Chain A
């Protein structure tokens, strides 16, 4: 199972960047880092993933350290709708469509 460490909660002002850290020191070379979020108790929603390089999409940026033992999800201009629990996990490339395991994640609260 993916073992990750995330802070239980973070606050961010609306319009500012939210930087959410994750430690995944046991990650293997063939495993993707994935980030999902869950708003209230809705179904988790995919945000972004990466293997080695930094990645950016319309929702967020992902910075992965060179040793791949940690990563940071960046929401560049957080809005109130970004308030959610954010989960970091990692999955082998060969089975990335298979099961995900989430821990308790980080509750991000975006304040007006």
Chain B
């Protein structure tokens, strides 16, 4: 089944404790993104990657890191989480950049930083 998976689905952590949220897709998609969703602010892009070893900042990259060493994986790293990073996070992938592209979203990771 074509899908985007994320782990963990739920995470409660404390300020400053490094964490990684994994994302994997099995559709051989070139383009992957991380978003966060917050009430009143909608869906905002954090980082994106156009292919292996190619990443770039989205709208709200501060406090986050990403890597794309393999085409299928795109982990999101919070080196020193803070309470304002409490949010619902989604990973997404799409086949390419241009033309019609459906973005496939993962199930989400609900992160709480105390």
Contacts and interface: CB of A to CB of B under 8 A. Distances in A.
A98 B97 contact: yes
A97 B94 CA distance: 6
A43 B90 contact: yes
B88 A41 contact: yes
Contacts of B35: 99-100
Interface stretch (B13-21, B63-71, B74-82, B101-109): B101-109
Contact of A99 (B48, B95, B105, B108): B48
Task: For chain B, give the interface size range.
Answer: 20 to 34
Interface residues of A, number: 22
B58 A99 contact: yes
B7 interface: no
Interface string B80-114: 00000000101010111111111111111010000
B42 A44 contact: no
Given A93-B99, A96-B99, A102-B42, 5 more contacts: A1-B59, A93-B98, A94-B97, A94-B98, A102-B43
Interface of B: 4, 30-31, 33, 35, 37, 40, 42-45, 48, 58-59, 88, 90, 92, 94-108, 110
